[in-house]
């Protein structure tokens, strides 16, 4: 039996395992970015939370009321939840979330102490030490 539709289900051998929303994750060195497809979901039906080192995205897409039965239905309606384990260097208080054009955009900044910092190198040629900035 068909239950739900692309892209919301992970299916194995025709059996629906769970409903998930697809996402992409990447980093620029200072932050991790997550884009999650959530078409048809309004802001009031979407929740993002952080607890015990885990980022959880929960949402619900409500079905429109119809006066007749569907002849064919592949669209997903109902709840979904996705949890991502955060690295210890993510600053939970800095998470930014934006819903735009059916995509949830998240930015998870690194804690200040975890970000790359430039280190000055002292140079000594035998006479006296001086501080030199490096280009890296």
Q: What is the mean pLDDT of each run of 10 residues along the chain (136 residues)?
A: 40 50 88 92 92 91 82 82 86 91 92 68 67 52
According to DSSP, the β-strands at 23-27 and 31-37 are antiparallel
User: What would the two tokens of residue 81 be?
Assistant: 């939840």
| Radius of gyration, CA atoms only, the chain | 23
3-state secondary structure of 30: coil
Q: What is the pLDDT of residue 2?
A: 38
Report field, pTM of the whole predicted structure over 0.85: no
Q: What is the pLDDT of residue 29?
A: 83
93-to-27, 97, 125 alpha-carbon distances in Å: 18, 12, 46
Q: What is the pLDDT of residue 117?
A: 62
Q: What number of CA atoms fall less than 13 Å from residue 73's CA on the CB side?
A: 12
Q: What is the DSSP letter of 32?
A: E
Q: What is the pLDDT of residue 132?
A: 52
Q: Where are the domains of the chain?
A: 9-132
Write down the CATH number for the domain with range 9-132. Answer: 2.60.40.790
């Amino acid at each position: 039996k068909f239950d739900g539709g692309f892209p919301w289900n992970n299916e194995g051998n025709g059996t629906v395992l769970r409903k998930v929303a697809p996402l992409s994750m990447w980093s620029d060195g200072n932050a991790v970015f997550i884009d999650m497809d959530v078409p048809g979901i309004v802001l009031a039906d979407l929740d993002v939370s952080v607890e015990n080192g885990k980022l959880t995205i929960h949402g619900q897409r409500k079905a429109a009321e119809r006066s007749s039965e569907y002849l064919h239905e592949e669209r997903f309606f109902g709840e979904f939840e996705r949890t991502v384990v955060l690295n210890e260097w993510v600053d939970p208080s800095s998470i930014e979330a934006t819903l735009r054009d059916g995509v949830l955009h998240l930015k998870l900044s690194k804690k200040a102490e975890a970000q790359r910092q430039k280190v000055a190198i002292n140079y000594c040629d035998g006479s006296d030490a001086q501080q030199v900035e490096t280009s890296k």
